[in-house]
Amino acid sequence: MKTTNFDDLLAENLQEEDFKKAYDALERESEVAKKIIHLRSTADMKPDNFSLLAYFSRIGFEGAASADFTTLKRMMRCQLFSVPFENLDVQQGKVVSLVPEEIYCKIVDRNRGGYCYEVNGLFAMALEALGIPWQFVAARPMTYPVRRPKTHMAIVVPIEGEKWLFDLGFGSYGIREPLNLNWLDREIRQDYETFKLTKSPDRDYLLLLLSDGVWTNLYEFNLSPQEWVDFEPANYLNSMHPSSIFVRSLMVVMQNPSGKDVLIGERFKSVSAGRTTGWTVRCEDIPELLLQKFSLRNLNE
């Protein structure tokens, strides 16, 4: 390798032997690069520190757990209602770690949240622990005014003869329980939100949300299997690029059975049973709001 520039490292199609050379070259230059390279040996989503019991305690899951759809639906809703979607690390100038052990420690041990790779990654760890087959899918967010790359991660689980979309990491607009991939072109009511799954002209799946009476595109995806390592460039883009919505603004969302609490920048809103209230938050009051509304504390640890 002729360069140790980190952007070039992500862009190159490295062979296995190049990773050792890259590690040696970047060892003193970038802790982030070392974590990226480390992903090669931790891609199976079975971190040594994962505890299913501790995970269940963190998300408030009670009762028996089996390798069935009912358990997975309960798991998804429990995690969605207890683990916030948040980009606080990005706002502090950090590249989000994709090392599974560190994701588990952040969310379970330190009671933090995360964005799509972290919260869906944690859910994949639980699926692995339960012995349930699953796959990552790469999704193209459709909420931007221009076409964007496939930077979103979701999970598809084949169980009990059906394929289901699981997604705990699309901010304030995501699904609230699993969605059957065979439920095409029908309105799907989930709590106080209404979704629809259809096929795009390219035959990809397209997820839509009914907002103020208008169907809004959320994201499109197909069933091409993705590996954990495939999301490294997208994670770096979302963590560091100045055009990334996660770099541009603070974003915290906590879902609940009747709605959600959302903090975007200095604007807070609470949605309950379809009704919205909101106010502007002073910068000095944000830490207290994060604690009271999103159970987030000790953010600098």
Return d(Cα 256, Cα 235) in angstroms, integer. Answer: 27
140 and 35 co-located in one domain: no
pLDDT, position 31: 52
26 and 86 co-located in one domain: no
What percent of the chain clears pLDDT 70, i.e. is strictly above it? 84
Within a domain: residue 204? Answer: yes
pLDDT, position 34: 46
Could you give the strand order of the β-sheet that contains 193-199, starting from the edge strand earlier in sequence? Answer: 179-180, 162-166, 152-159, 135-141, 214-221, 205-211, 193-199, 188-190
Mean pLDDT taken over the chain: 88
pTM score, two decimals? Answer: 0.85
128 and 28 co-located in one domain: no
pLDDT, position 44: 76
Residue 91 has pLDDT above 80, yes or no: yes
Q: Which two tokens stand for residue 173?
A: 């607009």
pLDDT in tens, 40-62: 433 579 999 999 999 999 999 99
pLDDT, position 102: 97
Within a domain: residue 27? Answer: yes
With tokens 């798991």, the residue in question is 75
CATH number of the domain at 260, please. 3.30.2140.20
Residue 68 has pLDDT above 70, yes or no: yes
Q: Count of domains in the chain?
A: 2
Q: Quick one: how many helices (H) and strands (E) in the chain? A: 11, 13
pLDDT, position 33: 47
Which helix (H) or strand (E) element contains residue 91?
helix 88-91
214 and 193 co-located in one domain: yes
Q: Provide mean pLDDT across the span 229-236.
A: 96
* CA-to-CA dists, residue 95 to 36, 99, 210, 232, 285, angstroms: 10, 12, 33, 11, 25
- The phi and psi torsions of 75 (rounded to 5 degrees) equal -60, -45
Residue 2 has pLDDT above 80, yes or no: no
14 and 63 co-located in one domain: no
pLDDT in tens, 236-272: 999 999 999 999 999 999 999 999 999 999 999 999 9
Look up the domain containing 133 and give its range.
Answer: 52-294
Torsion of CA 148, 154, 159, 162, to 10 degrees: -20
Within a domain: residue 47? Answer: no
pLDDT in tens, 176-202: 999 999 999 999 999 999 999 999 888
Which residue in 127, 117, 140 sits closest to 229, CA to CA?
117
Greater pLDDT, 16 or 136 = 136
* CA-to-CA dists, residue 130 to 135, 203, 227, angstroms: 14, 32, 19
pLDDT, position 301: 56
Q: Which amino acid is at 250?
A: L
Within a domain: residue 299? Answer: no
**Helix 31-38 and helix 16-26, axial crossing angle in degrees, nearest 10:** 160
β partners of residue 51: none
98 and 226 co-located in one domain: yes
168 and 108 co-located in one domain: yes
Residue 7 has pLDDT above 90, yes or no: no
Per-residue burial over 217-235, b = 16 or more CB atoms within 10 Å of its CB, e = otherwise? ebbbbbeeebebeebbebb
Within a domain: residue 214? Answer: yes
Within a domain: residue 56? Answer: yes
25 and 137 co-located in one domain: no
Asked whether 131 and 112 are in contact (CB, 8 A), the reply is no
pLDDT, position 22: 40
Within a domain: residue 135? Answer: yes
287 and 200 co-located in one domain: yes
- The phi and psi torsions of 79 (rounded to 5 degrees) equal -65, -40
Return d(Cα 162, Cα 122) in angstroms, integer. Answer: 22
Q: Provide mean pLDDT across the span 63-73.
A: 96
Greater pLDDT, 130 or 144 = 130
Q: Provide mean pLDDT across the span 140-164.
A: 94
65 and 133 co-located in one domain: yes
Within a domain: residue 87? Answer: yes
Binning pLDDT at 50, 70 and 90, where does residue 298 land?
low
30 and 59 co-located in one domain: no
124 and 68 co-located in one domain: yes
